[in-house]
Amino acid sequence: MKCPFQKSEGLPLKNLVTGEILYDTLHHSAKATNILCNEEFCSGSSMGLFGTADRIKAVEEQKQASLFTEAQKFVTECYNEWGRDENELNQRLSVVKAEIDQTGSYDLTPQEMELGGKLAWRNSPRCPGRIQWKNLKFFDCRQTNSLEEVFEAICRHIEFSTNDGNIKPAITVFPKRTFGEPDVVRIWNLQLITYAGYAQEDGTVIGDKVNTEITQHPRYPQFEKLGLEWFALPAVSSMMFEIGGLEFPAAPFSGWYSLPEVAVRDILDKQRYNMAKPIAKILNLDTASATNFWMDRVTTEVSVAVLHSYNKQQVTIVDHFKQADQFMDFFQSEHEIRGGCPADWVWIVPPLSGSQTPVFHQEMLNYQICPAFHYQKSLASMYRPKGQDLPSFKATAKALVFMNNLFAKRLRERKTISIYYATETGASKGFATILQKIFVNGYVSKAMNIAFVDTDEILNPDSQEIHQAIFIVSTFGNGDPPTGAIKFASKIKDLMNRGKRLENLEFGVFALGSSAYPNYCAFGKFLDDSFHKLGGVRILPIGMGDELNGQDDSFEEWMFGLGHLNDVPQGVKSHLRRLEQISNQQLFEQEFKWEVSNKYIEEVDNMQHVHGKTVRSVKILNKQIVANRFIHLELDVSEMNENIRAGDHIAIYPRNDTNAVTEIVGSLQDLPAKETPVKLSGGTFAAPTGTLEFLLHAFYDINGLLSARDLKFIERFMLSNEDVEKLHILQKSKTKIPLRFVDLFKTFPSLAIRSEDFVGRMKLTRPRLYSIASSPKVNSDGKKVLDLIISTVEYLDAKGIPRKGVCTSFLKSCNVDSIILGHYQASTLFGPVLEDQSRPLIMIANGSGIAPFRGIWQARLVRDQNENHVGATTQDLLFFGCRSFKEDLYATETKNILERYTVYSRDPDRPKQYVQDAVKARKYKILDYILNLNAIVLVCGSAGMADGVKTVMDSFLEWEGLSVEELKLTKSYIEEIFV
């Protein structure tokens, strides 16, 4: 009888912490294998659960007979992945069939091999680091046959993948196996780089009983006396790569180490270096008894040492907590995309702190699908007699099948509702997950990323089946859909243009956005309006959540509205109503309290604690005010260890205005002792420690907006009916003028609130991101230096009150040699542009939007000088808009570096023009750059400017059958927008 985990219809996999159940259907395509189990025992934790590749091969004749079937499966998967049409697929399959009929085998194209290598990694059930599978680099060495060529290929692989410590995943594939003939290339090492082991006459081993960079310890320098070393690159070299029915016995592949692999499995395991007791000795630990947990202490300290060592040498390594979180994201995503994820729980759960990681509590299903990597017999075992195959078990199969069928029947009786999310930062995914956990109380429900679903499945005008769906979507940049939803938005526009209807769709939309942008929640509004115009039926009105003002509260309010609909299952209604009651109770029962701290905590440590970022001290070396509107800063960022690139960002942690803080403190009740450091308990996020004035000055957002729930809470502390009535009028006003914490006491003079209750409603002040305005450099004093150019922010709010930007005001008040706090943040937009130096750039900016472009042109200039380029054959283009000639930033610097076009909007001596006017005037040059030179368009600046540029660009791109949206899909048009 087969193992009950081999085939099932939607096998349920439960997360024992969240209660969420995923249903695995991907295992239906699992490869038939000789699982080493029988009726009496399960070998799920056996190293060779599926046997070696030799067991999988079966008989040569059988293999040959099934070769085209396997080839057809894989090639079809490739062409589906690439979006090729059926004619192209059939042509390719006919070539493969003819090749097999003529020669008994066939060859895959390099593109097919590359995708196959990525899929083999994606399919590897024992690898917890598969989230990066799309980034695998493929080296094609199938024509290699001499020892020298093999050695050179391996060296190239190691050099590429090691990458000076910034590890890149890679696979090198050598010639395929021809049955009946000796393998052309076979690598007997378990890994490309290993330490040797020499057996001694007394049974001991010098070296690795099968293999570290120099291992140091930040707290125990005596670790260095042990001389422990490990290498940077784990490159598995002894496994066989199976793809499309073909076998490649030599296909070394590499990624990066996870911390427990080195610290626990390599250094401490008894069958490896067995260093536990020697390390315990230098830590002065008693090893006579296990009950003092000396082994746990050793394991922790070795892990600290390894992580410290790799980080110090700037070699990529991932700790087990981060890897477990990444795997859970991958696991969820794979179920959304493919309906399953093969995973070997025994290998996925780390050997260190296993139950403290989320993977420990997740049920998994272990099976093999192709392409795949398989174990092969070792050199020594090739000459041992073969043992007989172990029989498979069947003891519990009938019971499991019965329970599964019963469960499936109950699920089929439930209604189905789909939850789709579109996200850039993960916020909409978080809300979708919350909703899905509630819906499982009465629906068959899944939360799915729009980027990974079949749009025709959702938007099918010919379907007769009612489709209920909730869409939780964010808006990206200047009113655009998130990257993963661009195709979905295009499909909707296409249906509207063709006059199609979606009368089978019952929908609800919750839109996320920022009210700081003019096109607030634009993508969500677009979906709601389009679905309605296409004939869809609204389940409930659109909800909108402002990231600047109570987004969580807005989502809760919208979500609770679902509980009042007639057609919602009773289980879901009950759950929503119970949550609503709890939420209202918590608002008034939440108790904030000051806790006195016995010690002073450094501001840097405080910031790191509450923000979870690697915060560092930054020194202002130079400061200039340009045209009374911009601040140019030269910063010493030597304490930042990251590999900072042009186009990346520095986040600055601002301080609030001292006078405003003093006014607030003077209005609060029940203040903690003035010089006593305190910490607020009862909140929902990590709290900083310090005196009240210091906390309000450096950590809490006194300029933040109050949400509806905040106002409901604050109302209890108003002593006059006049203030209460004023609040009610403001709440009912159609204009909904927002209220800020800093203005509360001026607006409501009778407000008498305890300091802890007031501070408890605030959020933390967010760090402000600024694009680096230079190529990172080292000055004459050996300092790592970079520049920022920042627009000062001054405006009138909705009440006509003058406001200033919190961070720009703070920076304007700072002096040279001042120390501020910041952290580095890599850019996912402009940063990667530097990696492709071959394509010319069309840079479009206004105001301080020029900042990242200055870094990029400086980096390109350095490159040209280092590579002895006399001059680029094609100059990059810069279109820049500013108010007046005095604000023409870096004009002198760009001479002879790039082709620059500057326009002025408020200069009395020059015609009034905007950036889009300059773009329109040079449309033929821009088209030439895009069509013939494969240029990348980079836009950085205000939302209004970006909108105008997009409109103009679309007007002439249309001549060539193109659009900005299409260029965005190929990363040839990239925007970074600010307000």
Feature table: binding site: 127
Q: Which two tokens stand for residue 619?
A: 């020194």
Among all chains, which residue has been given the structure tokens 């400061």? Answer: 623
What is the amino acid identity at position 826? A
The set of residues, in sequence order, having a beta carbon less than 8 Å from that of 488 and lying 6+ positions away, is 422, 450, 455, 458, 459, 481
Among all chains, which residue has been given the structure tokens 């690795």? Answer: 208
Burial label, 839 (beta-carbon count in 10 A; 0-12, 13-18, 19+): middle
Q: What are the C-alpha distances in Å from 553 to residues 545, 733, 938? A: 8, 19, 36
* Alpha carbon 79 to its chain's center: 27
Gap between the Cα atoms of 687 and 653, Å rounded: 16
Closest to 51 (Cα-Cα) out of 376, 383, 387: 376
Q: Which two tokens stand for residue 252?
A: 């070394």
Residues in the annotated binding site for heme b: 127
Q: DSSP strand E in 334-400: where?
A: 372-374
Q: What are the C-alpha distances in Å from 387 to residues 40, 55, 762? A: 19, 11, 69
Residue 424 carries which DSSP code? Answer: S
Residue pair 937/970 in contact by the 8 Å Cβ criterion:
no
Residue pair 508/470 in contact by the 8 Å Cβ criterion:
yes
Among all chains, which residue has been given the structure tokens 């042509």? Answer: 91
Segments in 52-146 forming alpha helices (H):
53-57, 60-82, 86-103, 110-122
Residue pair 572/439 in contact by the 8 Å Cβ criterion:
yes
Q: Which two tokens stand for residue 69?
A: 């079937």
φ and ψ of 814, to 5 deg: -75, 150
Q: DSSP strand E in 317-462: where?
A: 317-318, 372-374, 415-422, 443-449
List the strands of the sheet with 593-596, edge to edge: 593-596, 678-681, 689-690
Helix (H, G, I), strand (E, B) or coil at 932: helix
Residue pair 767/653 in contact by the 8 Å Cβ criterion:
yes
Strand partners, 513: 546
The set of residues, in sequence order, having a beta carbon less than 8 Å from that of 428 and lying 6+ positions away, is 421, 422, 472, 473, 474, 512
